[in-house]
Chains A and B, each alone.
Chain A
């Protein structure tokens, strides 16, 4: 070993060993600062991690669910499930339709119990050690199990009731209990059923036909007739007060007076210039016949003769791709003189019977022929076979006049999913969408932001345990600040002691440093002397502090009753080996920095110092 730096490093170690008492004192003083810091860091991490462990073990901390039942846009669930922060989404049914009774094998019958859909990956069940129920299976909550003495493998008969066409009906479903859910997950009486069963329960409750063995048949709800506007023809202009009362007291919140031309543009062949026409519009979305009656009642005695129902026209496409506009016009007897074309009003007419139209004589269509139309309804398109009853010159080119009832049913589809039931000849309400959900974030740290995003995405307020998570985050932040303040104070003190010790050592060894220079060692080599000593002192101190931490960490755990083994183990005082290594390296770097002061001092020692020493 002839390199000057290596010789100096070797001699620096020998010097420390030769003055082992002094070395031990400074090591002890640094360890006395490092050990409490390690315990402090370990305690802080243990406290925070214990809280987080509770959050992680309990999936309800990651749960986000809507505050109320609403209908979601068709792509809502797909968008939510695609979010990388979301672990799983379990849809939910309408709360009002989710309760049922059950009967045990012993004949005990329950009151209405809330039913919760569950699906594969539901952490509420899986993290509590309960199997997700499959077909013919059910999970019960612990309070319910206790109240009715239900255990695993017991058979329950689920009882779903409804009133249908004036009569009470009941469906029964036998299910085997496959698990009892921990009260921490659900402290109330509750049943967890497969999602398909929950959806069928909801559908049954809404009077729909559910294809389950033994369940009474129902029907599929028809779409209702709705209108966008009521066009009123009166002998004179309505007073503003009358208009105000009409708009305030009905759902027709919008009002405009129509000129003759404007009236004529609403329907083909419309003309009656001797009347004043007002359009009352349902600005909050299409409204029902009930509001037509209400408006008529408000305008009684004001000389209003005609009340023409109107649904916004709708674009449609012929099979060959030609675009047409569907205009709905169905008239009461008193109104039929107003128009050259139109259909008699028939609100109870089946949809299939309203698939007829009057076409323009210039559109090249043939009377008494069938055309296939594709009409956009909501997010889909319906294909309709429409019979062209007749042609008329009064109908503008590119227009089909159809019964208002047809257009009204299609208008329903803009608000609610619909489908065309061929056997019934009706446009009926489509599959019920989910009206709620339980979404679980992958990490508790994602919950606050994810809850906000779901609110924006679904337009619905959500419930999530963000307050508790935020409290834990603030606890972590607060403890981190406190620990670091204490650590910095300790480090400053320790650094001061180390700097003083090393500089004093250099001063004591001034003649030796000068001798090194005299013998031919360079300034850099001599500067390495205190740096090597500083780093070694720090490493010895960290080693000693680590050993003391292991001992005192256990003591703290014993005193607090939290058990554990300290580094890498459980217990409230918790530091991982990697964190300890980072601490050691950090302290060594700080020591090297402290030693640099002594190193600078040693570099200034000239060889002549050796010649001056006595």
Chain B
């Protein structure tokens, strides 16, 4: 005990760090409130907010458990979710390495260019010699450091017997540097150090853009990526409960699950009654009532009251893990997709190498020296190095993704845009995709203003999904001041307004077997409020638009066929119901075998495998985490219009990329004859390279307004 007192207040070395996602962060006030508020909590050493990722990193005493930390953040007024062990962010580390390489290449390119300009403007003799040596001194370590991303990728491709864009780049850069070094050693007239380093700089700029686009989109999704349940309170024999991490849960353990918590493992209810929100599994918004003996799945949200659950399956044996495996398998087809630039490089690289070899042979036959012929071959390689190609594709894709991001669409990476452009059939999920996926109260307008105020106050006191729906629908209104508010699990919210008892409860008479309803009571007067899952406001227009663009449309849902009838009739499309996750996957595979390029639009975990299998996929931001991670693009907001916009922008982007390819080839047709004729000096190479890069970037910038 004494030692513990001794250490109080001193930053302990064994404190651990936990990461929480706090999506509601939006201003400097939030930062100050969280950082200062948390630092005052006993056991917390410090808290640091990362605004870009909407995360809080808390350093705390290891005895402080995640629920306590979550409660501490909630006490300050923010909803938080613990993030799984962040591990090493590979993409971010790769991006940093690329930025470092870009900085080095930029520094070197500027300084070598400075020296080269003096040579071109007439420096001669010993001065030129000294400048060449200085250039070599800067260029050699730069090529060795900044060229690594290309050399590594080229080496990996060659070892597998393939060729990609990086092969001609690596050969070009290495040969140019080697030849320039030889020229410097033998007091030659020309050295191409500036060309080699500038090439690296331009290509690294393209590579950086590409990687930044991926990191940015991933950060947007990762902010939403919550760990469904990092663990659970486990009861031991003596009636004590202690926090156990999800990985340590074993079948037979007894979990205590409070209302508002998610389950960390599959199990059977042994005590208590409650409603379970299993929308993540079925996509259905209505909570399912459970009691002793009922099976419940990991990831389900307990809504009404506390229950005791005996664990039957944990970790990799849970239903949710099964779906994850299905998704992984389905996603393997997508990783086989070869990107446009690499497809072009497969044709381009052999052509270029053949051309360089032929010019070498040609000049040898024409009687030139080996040295002279080699110089010309190097010039051909330098000129044809796919600088414009390497920059053209990422530049176009970054500009398009930026335009889409302003419209509320996060596209994961460039290959997603390419695949979206090829789509010819769209498969929609119903619940949560075509519909909002949340109950919306109907006929609220019948109520008087005062009743609305009371209703809002009652709804604010509960976390039930129907209360949430009421709160959203009445948002902006004044809440009435009601007293003695209490929530009875499984019954409703009760309170007192003036002289009347008021209540928001579950309906006493079951009017409609499938519809959702709750009952509002004031005094003796009772009103039945019915809820329905509404279509997204522009779903019908969107489907019309897509059909006009010549796309086939299909609705595939896990819902009952009767529930699909309305949607199918309103949109005039075929709808298939009663599909389990594996059935949806099979449907997509069947369509794929017919040669269709499928865009899957879905939100639930039950759509996950289908999202992974589709040629391309999109998910709304309200989708389950797994779906958002799998989808190629995530769109925000209640409207579906972004789907059509994204497809249009994707097609335009591919068009611009192809234009850029044409421009790059046109430039080669002009410059290669010069190189073969031996007229390309370092000056000509520098001008030609910068000019072609500028042209393709300018062309890519035209996409900036494409998402309007």
A binds B: no
- B interface residue numbers (CB < 8 A to A): none
- A interface residue numbers (CB < 8 A to B): none
